[in-house]
Structure 1
């Protein structure tokens, strides 16, 4: 019973604290020196940014969601 309650609580916390701006984004990094090219395999959006830091918002259709 405690395990079931713990799992339910974990899913609720993940849903509450997940970053909604990139929830469906799946970024892949292609390093190019100090800067990386990032491509979302979910929607195909591309952007550049610092090496090792995924984009924090969706770039779908070339529009930045804020």
Structure 2
């Protein structure tokens, strides 16, 4: 019975890790001083990325690779 349950448990854990891979390393913190109207500012404590969102809660994806590079 344990031998049959082990692959299922491993599969569920792998799926949950894969599903959250976009924000796994991000730790978003609200920055109320940076809010602009209805846009809420968040800064990632892990990578330093900044992002604005109009919905409740922090961004769902990491913004680390967007960068501030010019054209």
Q: Same fold (TM over 0.5)?
A: yes
What is aligned with 1:11? 13
RMSD: 2.8
Larger Rg: 2
1:37 is aligned to 41
Residue 37 of structure 1 aligns to a residue whose secondary structure is strand
Deviation at 1:49, TM superposition (A): 1.6
- Deviation sequence 1:27-56 (CA, Å, 0-9, x none): 112343522111101011112221424223
Distance 1:7 1:30 in 2: 39
CA distance in 1, matches of 2:63, 2:52: 11
Count the aligned residue pairs: 62
